[in-house]
Amino acid sequence: MKTRPLGRTGIRVSPYCLGTMLFGRAGNTDQDDCVRIIHRALDAGINFIDTADVYSHSESEEIVGKALRGRRDNVVLATKVNGAMGDDPNRRGSSRRWITAEVENSLRRLRTDHIDLYQVHHPDPETDIEETLAALTDLLRSGKVRAIGSSNFPATEIVEAQWVAQRRGLARLRTEQPPYSILNRGVEREVLPTCQRYGMGVLVWGPLSMGLLSGRYRKGHTVATPRMRWVPRHLTDERTLDVVEQLVALAGETGMSLPHLATAFTVAHPAVTSAIIGPRTLAQLDNLLAGAGTVLDDDVLDRIDQIAPPGSDIGPLDVSYDPPAITDPGQRRRPADERAAA
């Protein structure tokens, strides 16, 4: 498997990254089987693994650490910080206090002395980005972290982080991890061009739109939804399923499976370094690896553009990040007394 530059970090990674969100209690509960999946991916030429402290409440990191025993030096290892790791309000977020504590926990679980790419999992509206970048800069200087990045950041926050780093002499975020698939193309408008402008590597999650482009979820077919409480809604959206049917037909016409079409689409974008594939079983991994060499020609890409227009989100993912301006009604409405007086 050929490699691509991870932005301007000097690190080279495979165009497919093994995502491990489904390893552990949130998906595959057989740890030994998860280790076999990781080894199969490495043997196939994938050299990039992405995990996070919150995946299966840290069990995913433990599984990855177990699997990389004796193979760590040949793997670009990425993990994340920010998600809630307990009821204590200080065991989450992007404060210096939490970052410096949680990186030690991740290093211990991963059984390593350094993390190749340490990412802020989501924006933290309660923490000044300078506070976060200062803590990450110190981790870089200590050697515990080799590169830093963001995940699910809107374009405005990516730009702000770059400017703050330049003005304050802090380390820059070198990568971004946004959601991207045929059904979720909103990042094409600003996020991906912004990453290109700043020379950032991009590893995209959800190339199969959290299962919708796996070929299992079809209009008029009843399929058991995953156990994860935050996934099922978008799998049953009728408008989205109409588009899926058109993509199924296109994949059939081109002689490829829908997952292969979908994953090849994401890595065809010039801003994308690597697409994160997140298999739960060996069979799922083998199926995705079988399409690793798939290249879409312009005619197929034009057809996809007709079905799912560039820059559009056909159906939002249940797990996509929404800023407080969207989730908090109070940020969109003047106080009642001001409205009445207007």
Domains in the chain, please, with CATH?
A: 4-341 (3.20.20.100)
User: In 40-190, at which residue ranges do the beta strands (DSSP E only) sit?
Assistant: 48-50, 76-81, 117-120, 148-151, 175-177
The whole-number pLDDT of residue 235 equals: 74
321 among known catalytic residues: no
The whole-number pLDDT of residue 340 equals: 77
335 pLDDT tier (thresholds 50, 70, 90) = confident
The phi, psi pair for 265, rounded to 5°, reads -60, -45
pLDDT of 223 higher than 80: no
pLDDT tens figures, 165-202: 999 999 999 999 999 999 999 999 999 999 999 999 99
Closest CA to 138 of 109, 104, 162: 104
The pairing of beta strand 12-13 with beta strand 4-5: antiparallel
pLDDT of 216 higher than 70: yes
pLDDT of 333 higher than 70: yes
pLDDT tens figures, 144-162: 999 999 999 999 999 999 9
pLDDT tens figures, 100-143: 999 999 999 999 999 999 999 999 999 999 999 999 999 999 99
The whole-number pLDDT of residue 226 equals: 53
211 pLDDT tier (thresholds 50, 70, 90) = confident
pLDDT tens figures, 261-302: 999 999 999 999 999 999 999 999 999 999 998 999 999 999
Contact, 196 vs 269, CB < 8 A? no
pTM of the model: 0.93
Average pLDDT of the segment spanning 196-225: 85
The whole-number pLDDT of residue 222 equals: 56
Lowest-pLDDT range of 119-128, 201-210, 307-316:
307-316
The whole-number pLDDT of residue 113 equals: 98
Contacts of 160 (CB under 8 A, 6+ apart): 129
pLDDT of 225 higher than 60: no
Name the catalytic one among 16, 55, 118, 217.
Answer: 55
The whole-number pLDDT of residue 118 equals: 98
- Residue 201: DSSP 8-state: E
The whole-number pLDDT of residue 232 equals: 61
User: In the chain, at which residue ranges do the beta strands (DSSP E only) sit?
Assistant: 4-5, 12-13, 16-19, 48-50, 76-81, 117-120, 148-151, 175-177, 201-204, 274-277
Average pLDDT of the segment spanning 241-259: 95
Average pLDDT of the segment spanning 252-259: 95
Per the structure block, which two tokens stand in for 126?
């309660």
pLDDT tens figures, 35-90: 999 999 999 999 999 999 999 999 999 999 999 999 999 999 999 999 999 999 99
Per the structure block, which two tokens stand in for 102?
């949680």
- Length of the chain as a residue count: 342
The whole-number pLDDT of residue 315 equals: 75
Contact, 173 vs 158, CB < 8 A? yes
